[in-house]
Structure 1
Amino acid sequence: MGLYVFHFPELGEGLHEGRIEKWLVKPGDEVKEDDALAEVENDKAMVELPSPVDGKVVDIKVPDGTTVVVGDLIITLEVAGEGNGDAAVLQDEKTSGVQQAGLESVAQHVAQASPSAPATESPAHTQHAAPVKADDAIRSVAHDVLATPGVRKFAREQHVDISQIHGTGAHGKVTKEDVATFVQGGDHVVVGEQVAAHEMQSSDGHNTQVPITTQVTSSTAVGGLVTIEERVALPGIRKIIAQAMAKSKYTAPHVTIMDEVDVTELVKLRQEIKSLAQEREIKITYLPFIVKALVATVRKYPELNASFEEETQELVLKRSYHIGIATDTDRGLMVPVIGDADRKNMWTIAKSIDDLASRARTGKLMPNEMKGSTISITNIGSAGGMFFTPIINYPEVAILGVGRITERPIMKNGEVVGGQMMALSLSFDHRIIDGALAQHAMNELKNLLANPQLFLLEV
């Protein structure tokens, strides 16, 4: 048997720390690879930390509520494999000189943590223990990505830097197939991939409640008036939202056009299919219809389904349709992504929206579920709003804002009739998209929403 020392990994690009909210295991528990070890909150989302190996929990090194940085020792696991029966340390080929210098102290910590290690065993003895196979070794590199030791060994054999590979496995883990594809010249990285989804718009009118921590309560006197002040520390997620909003607003010149559409027929259709949705245990809202209409629209006007690269001054037209759906949560605005929405029917999209929104509100979304959108939708109608000016998810070039549906008199064929009117707001990057093009796209979107039978062509 060997001892696997698990250091806190980098759970996503730029994520260097996290807070262990709750351990889901205890010493003595048996775990399988990819089983959730703990719930971790970071600047991106609440995520579950998967076990990198099969084994038994030996010792939990940090309690619930502890903030840790990448490389911190957090848990040890007993694993099957060759070794000296106590503990061993694998000096990964990626280990830097500084990391190697600290390897002795790591070995000493392992020796002290191992319940089977003799009390008289010296750190030096532990450090010079017989080498173990990579699959039974300890991950000791501070900036590791999620991957099993076997996959890391395969990557080293192929002379590949595993940190350059985008993982497609559970929790974003790099698999052997990912390494092989990379070696063959493939690229799993999404072109124009954004930072995590909550970096999207939050100044779109949502009155989001964000958990905050009181720092100081004080008072100031100005002009004879005393004001009681309470200073609070912004959560990391709100800081990142603020940075992203500022970058988008001050980089891309925003223009917003506003319009409304008679969706009386769409309202009737939704009402008619509610019973079918209930039979399938699906919550059917207007969003799946809007997603399909938006996909059809940007197919016709591809300039809206694009990103802009500053360095090369190129417009990158996306031939995939990944739609971001803004979701209001008590931690901030999260935007999970409906991938390949053009290939999904209405039922599948409805299921995905409900599942992703539910997990966003409970903090269970994985970072990779909030990346890669090509154009986004933000819905202020659910909060009772109508027209607004949503902020573009830079470097995307457009975002659709959806307002509430209101019933009011309208003129139709020369007569005043009751109509169900939906408010729409389309913000776009005026460097790339002219007003006329944006209005043509809006007209196409309105036509689809007003005539839902056209959706049959998109299913």
Structure 2
Amino acid sequence: MGTHVIKMPDIGEGIAQVELVAWHVKPGDTVKEDQLLADVMTDKATVEIPSPVSGKVVSLGGTVGEQMAVGAELIRLEVEGTGNVKDDAPPAAPKKASAPAPAPAPAVREPSAAAPVAAVKDEPRAPPRTQAPPTRAPGDKPIASPAVRRRAWDLGIELQYVHGSGPAGRIMHEDLDVYLASRGQPAPRTGGSAYAQRHEEESVAVIGLRRMIAHKMQESKRRIPHFTYVEEIDVTELEALRAQLNKKFSAERGKLTLLPFVARAVVLAVRDFPQMNARYDDEGGAVTRYGAVHLGIATQTEPGLMVPVLRHAEAHDLWSCAGEISRLAEAARSGKATREQLTGSTITITSLGALGGIVTTPVINHPEVAIIGVNRMVERPMIRGGAMVARQMMNLSSSFDHRVVDGVHAAEFVQAIRALLESPALLFVEPA
């Protein structure tokens, strides 16, 4: 038998170190060639590290959340043959002797999605292996005395999943003891009252994508003097047009949401306000304006916020824009978005959909200089021609970098977007 050391690979683009965000193996596991070993993160892209050989895991070279240099020892395997290191070479000492290697990530997970924190859920627990599974039918109430029920409640045990050894399947105190021994002691409940005091504390490590988001938001707010401009938009005609287009074309072209219309309005508006479709180099003191509109689409994923990029939005019609937005959002949510799909935006749209609220203050996606925030659409009474009528209204809350964008220009830019959305026929007219 020999020893094979797998080192942190060079992921490219001049990256010197990456963050270890998930292990999929643990010491003692047997792995096969091409089996997934770990996930690492660089910038906002998660990269899967497979095993080039088959063998048995001897030791792990880092802990989840640790920054690892390219070329550092990632994992050590025992393999058939001579391996790639001398047999007498001592195994690498763990970098953090007091921190044991973490357990592998849960089996149910989106591929390559960085999962910084495993959410604690109050889900029913499966019966322990040392107990026979309960034989009661679904919906049958477990038989137990009030004292046993009270004790189970205090211990946080679901009686539905405890095997009863007493007459007619009655759950006894010793059944609770067996369940506890096989499942580990759960945290006792604080009491049956809805108004009982609670004293639990939980420390959640900020790692992976969540750490990256924190860094990006901190950098953006530290570097950029934000100001936000909010405008109300009447989207009644736009919604009527969207409904007509979906009724006629959705079967063959796909369904249109509001977002492609907003994207088209931004594409047309930046032609008159090129300073909005730009990136500011803080250190170089220069603003680069772009003819191409590489539109960032802020997307909520399970690990956190990601911004996939719709490249050359100016070259897409409504349906191709909708299709690309859907494809990119799905790639981000499933953890399959590439580094190229997550970088290079020149201006960003963010929307919380039905949760959009009345006003938001979106944070600019550094080093861009503008972000367009879409708020919730509501039907409200409005005065038109002296009469009160019901209209579909929506706010845009947009933030700008005050170092390079003046307030009056930001207002004019948003008003240009408003004019396009309130008269949606203009979205299909190319300027002369």
Q: TM-score if structure 2 supplies the norm length?
A: 0.63
Instruction: Tell me what 1:403 maps to.
Output: 375
Q: Distance in 2 between matches of 1:233 and 1:257?
A: 35
How do residues 279-298 of structure 1 correspond to structure 2 at under 5 angstroms? 279-280=251-252, 282-298=254-270
Instruction: Tell me what 1:318 maps to.
Output: 290
After superposition, the CA RMSD in angstroms is 3.9
Instruction: Tell me what 1:358 maps to.
Output: 330
- The amino acid of 2:71's aligned partner reads G
Match of 2:212 among 240, 264, 269: 240
Q: Distance in 1 between matches of 2:325 and 2:274?
A: 24
CA contact (8 A) 1:270 1:284 kept: yes
Cα offset, 1:266, TM superposition = 1.0
Cα offset, 1:274, TM superposition = 1.7
Match of 1:383 among 355, 367, 371: 355
Distance of aligned partners of 1:60 and 1:433 in 2 relative to their CA distance in 1, 3 Å threshold = farther
Cα offset, 1:282, TM superposition = 2.7
Match of 2:389 among 395, 417, 426: 417
Q: Report sequence identity in percent.
A: 35
CA contact (8 A) 2:220 2:366 kept: yes
Highest Rg: 1 or 2?
2
CA contact (8 A) 1:213 1:232 kept: no
Cα offset, 1:50, TM superposition = 8.3
Distance of aligned partners of 1:328 and 1:385 in 2 relative to their CA distance in 1, 3 Å threshold = same
Q: Distance in 1 between matches of 2:41 and 2:274?
A: 35
Distance of aligned partners of 1:66 and 1:430 in 2 relative to their CA distance in 1, 3 Å threshold = closer
How do residues 217-256 of structure 1 correspond to structure 2 at under 5 angstroms? 228-256=200-228
Distance of aligned partners of 1:5 and 1:380 in 2 relative to their CA distance in 1, 3 Å threshold = closer
Distance of aligned partners of 1:280 and 1:455 in 2 relative to their CA distance in 1, 3 Å threshold = same
Cα offset, 1:339, TM superposition = 0.5
How do residues 173-212 of structure 1 correspond to structure 2 at under 5 angstroms? 211=117
Instruction: Tell me what 1:300 maps to.
Output: 272
Instruction: Tell me what 2:177 maps to.
Output: none
Cα offset, 1:276, TM superposition = 4.8
Q: Does 1:265 align with 2:265?
A: no
Distance of aligned partners of 1:344 and 1:26 in 2 relative to their CA distance in 1, 3 Å threshold = farther
Number of equivalent positions: 317
Instruction: Tell me what 1:102 maps to.
Output: none
Per-residue Cα deviation, 1:22-58 (whole angstroms, up to 9, x for no partner): 59x97467xxxxxx9677352545645488xxxx964
Distance of aligned partners of 1:397 and 1:60 in 2 relative to their CA distance in 1, 3 Å threshold = farther
Distance of aligned partners of 1:37 and 1:346 in 2 relative to their CA distance in 1, 3 Å threshold = farther
Q: Distance in 2 between matches of 1:14 and 1:427?
A: 33
Q: Distance in 1 between matches of 2:389 and 2:85?
A: 88
CA contact (8 A) 2:379 2:392 kept: yes
CA contact (8 A) 1:292 1:458 kept: no
Distance of aligned partners of 1:411 and 1:388 in 2 relative to their CA distance in 1, 3 Å threshold = same
Q: Distance in 1 between matches of 2:24 and 2:253?
A: 31
Match of 1:330 among 298, 302, 327: 302
Q: Distance in 2 between matches of 1:48 and 1:284?
A: 33
Match of 2:54 among 46, 55, 59: 59
- Look up the SS of the partner of 2:54 in the other structure: strand
CA contact (8 A) 2:370 2:401 kept: yes
CA contact (8 A) 1:326 1:379 kept: yes
Q: TM-score if structure 1 supplies the norm length?
A: 0.60
Instruction: Tell me what 2:99 maps to.
Output: none
Q: Distance in 1 between matches of 2:117 and 2:6?
A: 33
Q: Distance in 2 between matches of 1:7 and 1:326?
A: 31
CA contact (8 A) 1:37 1:48 kept: no
Q: Distance in 1 between matches of 2:240 and 2:119?
A: 46
Distance of aligned partners of 1:44 and 1:418 in 2 relative to their CA distance in 1, 3 Å threshold = same
- Look up the SS of the partner of 1:239 in the other structure: helix
Cα offset, 1:451, TM superposition = 1.3
Q: Distance in 2 between matches of 1:392 and 1:61?
A: 47
